[in-house]
Chains A and B, each alone.
Chain A
Amino acid sequence: MATFEEIERRRKRAKSSYRDAKKHFVRVEGWLPVFRAYARQKALAVHYLTLCAKDAIDVRYFRIKGVLEYDAKQKAYPTVSFIEREAQDYAVIAESLGTAKLGINGDLEAILIRPDENASNSAKLRKSFPYDIVNLDFTGEVVREGDPPYSQTIRAIEKIIELQHGANCPSWHMFLTFRACPETANHEADQELRFIIENNLQNAQAREAYGNRPAPHDLIGARYEEFLRIGIVKFLASSASNRGYTCSLENSYVYSREPRDGGPPYHIVKLIVRFGVVRPAGHLPNPHHVMAIYQESVPAIFQSQPIDVVARLQANDTRQRILEDLKPVLDELTAQSIVE
């Protein structure tokens, strides 16, 4: 269990990253259009599950942009559910947002993977499905050092897909954020991903789509973030096909970070993935069909290219525009009287 000192260090590190232009670029260019589409379609009642962290910038931002249902009088977000592991941060979110559809002070992975130990939170979370958008903004790796390759995070993601399917959700989006840092990566998991990619490359169509990227083994060393990006999307596609969905990568973003406290530099990878139902809940999966869906999705994944956030921010006045767009949210955070 993390000591208080460690938790505090992590909280301080996280705080600065929530408010920077790189992260907000993805909110503006990637997340907001998805929200807009759902808001139009569902008259603002966009059911949104988020790991929003204490500033809840995403929730505030979408409210300000008018794409999220909000009752200003009751200070209520009737379609927003949030989960926060740290008690202090949970309190900040709960106190500053007012009333939400669901607020859980707990660890998402533990709640989904070990429901017996988290009975009350698990029951609440399961009951709250389905969601239109699930925003899994993980601050760390998808497979942490020391975890087995089939990590808790991976299993939690699969569980979410399963719960969405079980709740008869026909179409939904997942925003997935994770860290790619070769120094703190789980090499066993990397090797497993590498074998799967190499296996995919046996297929001519997939090989052609893979293009001139270095071979998977070299890609780990040369562009680890790219290796993880395609590896994780492929995992999502495989997992989705087994659980009755097709999975298509709509956009992906990559940017670098250099920790101020002297830790190794790393990349943040952000995926916007759409899931569409192919098999209704309660029906048996057809293994041939499942395999076909997965194999069809592989070339598209290999063809995809990430958006280089840092390069895009350097163009013209993009950085300025992005920061100005973020300003109302930061002003609101400054004005609120909640102790952080």
Chain B
Amino acid sequence: MAVPISDCSDSTLVRRACAGSDEAFNVLVRRWEKKIYTHLAHLTGRADEAFDLCQEVFVSAYTHLGQLRDPERFSPWLFQIAHSAAYSYFRRIHNAGPELSDGMQVSGSSRVRLANGTVLERPEAKLLVEKLLAMLTFEQREAIILKVYGGFKFEQIAEIQNCPLSTVKTRVYSGLEQLKRLLDK
């Protein structure tokens, strides 16, 4: 019995899309659009810009799909495109840090307890995290978001950011230490 296309793996869908199946690429879009959008929203801090960049990412992915040598590595490759798009965005606006949120919706539960025992309501925690992330460099912020939100391994983040593994570790360690110091205050 044939597997429904929506249940196919990324690599299978990539191969089918490369062979000309628009349906396969549509499944990939549906599968990854939210992840890419959220990643870009965290990076930029702007929902509208994140949505536009998200479209750019998938258009770029479609046009360059034939250049993906290993279909198994579709998601790091997609985040690599998102990295380039976000980097171009920040270069375009000449702004190292993202602006504060413009009303993005967040779902999930309610309270956050900090290490020093402080309990924050979710909107407060949201603002706090955005402010803290805005204090990091673009590369630190992206590496931490890729790690904590994207769940990528350091090696994959190095591939996405196109830098050595040691550089990624340094970015993550220094970024987390900086966040810890700020939260302890």
> A and B from one assembly?
no
